[in-house]
Structure formats: C-alpha cells, structure tokens
Structure 1
C-alpha cells in the first residue's frame, strides 16, 4: 500500500442508509487535507511501507517499535528534523484515515523526536526573504523579449505582490481575474488554509514604474497567452511555443531560484511580502488581508528580520 489509505466506512447504525456514501466521502475529505500535503505524505508513506516490508514489519497498524526504528534510521541517515517530522505526520495521517490509533501518539515516540531534534540542534529551515531593492533589480534585469521572459516576470511579480503560495500560483485560471481602473482582483479557490473553498480575494495594484508593475506585466503575458480561460501559467517548449500544460509547483520553485538565486524558494515570494510590508510599517491586519493568514502569530513567524539593522529601536533613541 503506497498511497495513503482511505477512511474506513461510516458505521451504518448511526447514519441513514441513503447518506452513508456521502458521509464517508465527507469524512475522508476532512481527514486528508490540502492536495499538496496529500502528495507529500503519500511519498513519505510509501517510504515507510518499503522500510517495513524490508524489515518484515507491519506498516498499518504500525507498532511503536517499528516507528521508532524507522525514525532512527532517518536520523542516522542525516535527514533534516523537518523531514523526519513530516514522515511522522504522514504516518499519523495514514493511521487516522484507516481508523487506527497512531504510534506517533506514544510518549516514547515524542521523546525520541525531541531527542533527535536536540541532538541535531537545527531549526526548521525557513524560506529566505529578499529585500525590495534586490527584487526590483532582478525584475528590471530580466529579458522580456521572449514569451518565457514575459511569463516569468509576471509570475514573480504576481507571486510577490499577491503573497501567493506556489500551489495557488499553479492553480490560477484566467477566469479568476477581474481587472478594473483601480487594479486587479483575483479570486481564490481552495488553498492550504481555506480547505472549504470559501470566497477569498487578493488585490493587486498598479505600480508607477511600469518595469516592475505586476498588472502591466501580467497583461503583457496574457496577450501572448491569447486565451480567455484555462490556466494562466503554462509550460513552454524550447522553441517558445506555448502548451496547455499547467506549470507545476516544482517548476515555479525552479524559476524563482533561477532569477533570485539558490538560497531562495518560491515561498520566499510570500515571506518577502510579509517582511517588506512590516518594514514599511504595515499593521498585521493589512498584511493578513493579502496573505489570508488567520493570526498575527503567523505573521510574526513569516517576518524575516535577520539583519540586526533592519528593525531596531536603537535608531529611535533620539541621540
């Protein structure tokens, strides 16, 4: 079993017969979570299954001892703390979907994970944030004489000014866009923090500098795209010919690194939006209105202020 298991059938004694199938489907949807998370967990679950098979152990349900051995092997192999924690989360999810108690709830596993993190003495790596000056230089230096350049410029500018997750950029369709004289409103479907698909919108504004204007850059790309519906960001062939294939999140990440450097990821676009906004004095409610975060605590977590000079009251002592 390499894929995440399906949720067990709902007990029919409590549910009217004509509702059983629908109830089971809703339960499984609630347990599974975001599509990107499901894909990541499926790979981790496949790895755990292979390890259990190799060692003649049951993966579902798994014993505490089996899980401990698997996590220890990951740690000894030099895997990052975040990677080990994600594998544990995937195993938890698989057991939930199958209706089993997860061995990750055992105190021994919790102590083991704590010990692994302490011994490695590493923080969970966060996507780096760039400065606004660096970003503007990058955009202004891009070759936009080709469809690829036009697409990539629009992608980076929209990703930054809209504080998009890469999964949201991947999912954008032309039907989601509404232009007017004030700018652009983008309607979002489901996202990591909006599993119910409730109506959410992001506002994009014109920039006085056309070279770094997200709306003008997007419109230039849309003229090349030449369609009125379907995915906005698509793959291109080597001869610059457009395809109908939606760009993947992996490729969006590679484009970000191509222009900004290997120290950044697609998530840096979102983290940098938060950081630049906070440095420019925006309050949390304004930032959250664009990022769609639910709490100020998440805004603080996203704000990258590693440079001691960036955000320091020593400049305000009045000396």
Structure 2
C-alpha cells in the first residue's frame, strides 16, 4: 500500500441505491399580495423575493432634513393644541390600562365616547381625534368609522341644545360710531382707528393684524398695502398682498389712519418690528420684557379687546358680543351687498 492508501478517511457510507445524495429543494417564495393587488393577464404572481431589500440607508433622514421636519409650518397654536390632546389621551390610556401608541380602534372609540360623556364640543372632539390619529405610525392608525358615527349623532344632539353664537357683523353705521369714538389726540385712539380701518378694509383675521410688522405695511396716496406673511389659508408661508383703497371720507380713510399711526410710532421711538403695540394709559409703550412668546407683538385677544372697547364707547347695545371677527363679517356683507365677491 502506498502512503496515500494508508490515510484514514472520515466519511459516511451510503448505499449505492441512495446515490447521488440529493439536497432538499428550497421552499417556494411566498406570494406578496393583498386585497388591493391587481394583475394583468400574463403577469406572474409577485412574491417576497421580488420585494426590494431595504437597508438603514433607506430609512434614515439627514440631521438637516430632520430639523426641517421638526419645523414644519403648522400653526403654532394648532401644534400646541395637538400636543395637549395627545397628552390627555396618553394619561387616559395609562389610567385605564390601555396602550396609547399605537392604539387599537376599540381604544380610540372608547376615548371618543369618554369625551362625549364629558360634554366636550363636537369640534373639540374632532380636533382630539385628529391629534390622536396623526400621532400614530402611518400603517397603524385606528379606524374611524365607529368613532365618526358616534360623533355625528352627538353633533345633532349638541346643535339642538346649544345655540351657535357668531360674532355679530360690524355694520357701516357702527363702524363710523366706533371710529368716531377714537380720540386722535391720544396714541391709543390713533392706534385703534388704524386697527378698525385695516381690519375692515383687508378682511383680516385678528392674528394676522397682530402679526403685522412695520415692514409689512406700505402706504401711498391711493392705497395701503399689507403683506400678510402667513395665514390660516397660506400655511406654506408664500405670503399675500392686500390693497386697501383710500376713502374720500376723512373719518374712514385707511391711508390717513396708517400715516397717523406711523407718526405716533416714530414719536415713541419705534421704526421697526411689530406694527401694532400695547400702550399704557399714559400713551407710552407697554413694557413687554416678560412677553417671551410674542415679544413686542400683541396677541389676537388684544386686538379683540381694542375692538370691543371701541364698540362699548360707541354705545353698541351688544358690545360684549362684538369681536374683531365682526370687522370681517361686516366688510364681507358690505361687499356682497353691492354685488362684489368678498373672498
């Protein structure tokens, strides 16, 4: 025997009848279909092997993109309200031993029923429902059919027992009386006249007036032009320009009102920043050092207070119901009355 013949070979002996040894065939790939799959004649059934192979690169966004996503242009008050609604939902789920995110449809429906029992307004409940659903992963959102059905029935009950009170429109006659109540020898009177005439002429929402900067307001002999940087209907922040024509009536002339208010601001040492300012009873600038949220920019509620105060001074019987929204309603009705389109 040669040296090679003497080597020990460790191998399994297989009967000749079982040669050659066969490997088990791989199981067929599972079909990758669901109830939405549509195939054309001749197409092969898609399988899991046809699906793309994702890696971490396909799932992560860059830090810059993540920052942009955090700063999406949702209205600040809407974002804050959504966060509050989600926190209330999480607390309720914790109290009742339910999973909050992602929640089941039953949990979602039960929470809506809970809000109905608390007597929340239908609009508040609808906002809470939206806040909760948008907090869920895209493919794990709860169903809405049952919850919406309950809410629709509740809305009918609500409308029967609750009278919807809209801010009354500020008519032409009331507007004249309100503007006439403005003492133009005082900074507050000059400011309030400007608020009334811009709010009426541009049909602005109160927060849009409050958000105006001096740079957003331009004036010439024929027009006042407002640059509304963002609004409820312009969440992309493209901005809109609104022209308010001069009025031959000196009492109601927005051009004169803006020029007079800019003169007051100049005397107060203001040349940039917020257009409408909070004032003291002596006509000086109010200290806004603690106003961390809006700084020198007043709130929409402040605009409301100024408008309501002028309605009171003008002797309006329903002055407590008057809001800045009445300027929009009154202006829109006046435009529609002469065949114009207020939108």
- TM superposition score normalised by structure 2: 0.68
Indicate the SS of the match to 1:41.
helix
Query: In the superposition, relative to structure 1, how do residues 41 and 252 fare at CA in structure 2: closer, same or farther (>3 Å)?
Result: farther
Indicate the SS of the match to 2:321.
coil
- Report deviation, 1:144: 3.8
Query: In the superposition, relative to structure 1, how do residues 235 and 185 fare at CA in structure 2: closer, same or farther (>3 Å)?
Result: same
What is the alpha-carbon distance in structure 2 between the residues aligned to residue 54 and residue 254 of structure 1? 40
Deviations 1:67-100 (A, max 9, x none): 33333333333332222222222223333xx646
Q: Determine whether 1:110 maps to 2:148.
A: yes
Residue 278 of structure 2 corresponds to 235
- Report deviation, 1:113: 1.1
What is the alpha-carbon distance in structure 2 between the residues aligned to residue 108 and residue 219 of structure 1? 57
Query: In the superposition, relative to structure 1, how do residues 140 and 57 fare at CA in structure 2: closer, same or farther (>3 Å)?
Result: farther
Query: In the superposition, relative to structure 1, how do residues 56 and 219 fare at CA in structure 2: closer, same or farther (>3 Å)?
Result: farther
Q: Determine whether 1:280 maps to 2:321.
A: no
Indicate the SS of the match to 2:103.
coil
What is the alpha-carbon distance in structure 1 between the residues aligned to residue 301 and residue 190 of structure 2? 19
Q: Determine whether 1:70 maps to 2:111.
A: yes
Residue 13 of structure 1: which of 48, 57, 60 is its match?
Answer: 57
Structure 1: gaps (5+ residues): 1-10, 289-319
Instruction: Map 1:132-281 to 2 at 5 A.
Output: 132-226=172-266, 227-243=270-286, 245-260=296-311, 261-281=319-339
Answer with 1 or 2: which has the greater Rg. Answer: 2
CA RMSD, Structure 1 to Structure 2 (Å): 2.8
- Report deviation, 1:211: 1.8
Residue 92 of structure 1 corresponds to 133
Structure 2: gaps (5+ residues): 1-54, 289-295, 312-318
Query: In the superposition, relative to structure 1, how do residues 110 and 237 fare at CA in structure 2: closer, same or farther (>3 Å)?
Result: same
The count of residues paired between Structure 1 and Structure 2 equals: 269
- Report deviation, 1:12: 5.5
Answer with 173-182 or 262-271: which moved more: 262-271
What is the alpha-carbon distance in structure 1 between the residues aligned to residue 195 and residue 91 of structure 2? 38
